[in-house]
Amino acid sequence: MTLTRFAFVKAQWHSDIVDRSLDGFLQQVPATQVDVFDVPGAFEMPLMARDLAATGKYGAVICAAFVVDGGIYRHDFVAQSVVDGLMRAGLDTGVPVLSVSLTPHQYQETSHHNAIYRAHFVTKGREAADAALGILKTREALAAQAA
């Protein structure tokens, strides 16, 4: 597989938890191949993902956010909008856009829950790296067959 750059977009809402996904991603992909971008929250990720994918610099764009019920709005609406936007960014640009966006129904801001989700985001970051590498490997194989 050729050396590929990856864009990793992180929402800063609950960054103490979300940033762990980058830790997991970097367990599978060298940091020298990853450009990191912070956005205020999950809702800003699809636009950033689309813009990064459109540059042609990245083999994949990975986006991470933690969308919880804040009592003011329905978090499921935000989460669905974000995932739909990320999918559209990938389909519109032809660049894989992967989501590490978690939306727990029973999150409480306690040390116990925070520890659970920090660990879970590390796992999800590793899984995103595996998925990105797998997609790129398959696409390279398809391109080689077509040549």
Q: What single letter denotes the amino acid at residue 104?
A: P
The 3-state DSSP class for residue 9 equals strand
74 a catalytic residue: yes
Query: Catalytic residue among 5, 74, 126, 139, which?
Result: 74
For the record, the structure tokens of 14 come out as 């609950």
Question: How many C-beta atoms surround the C-beta of residue 138 within 10 A?
Answer: 10
Determine what percent of the chain falls in helix, strand and coil, rounding each to the nearest 5. 55, 15, 25
- Asked if 107 and 113 count as a contact pair (C-beta separation under 8 A), the reply is yes
The single residue listed with the structure tokens 């194989």 is: 141
Catalytic residues: 74
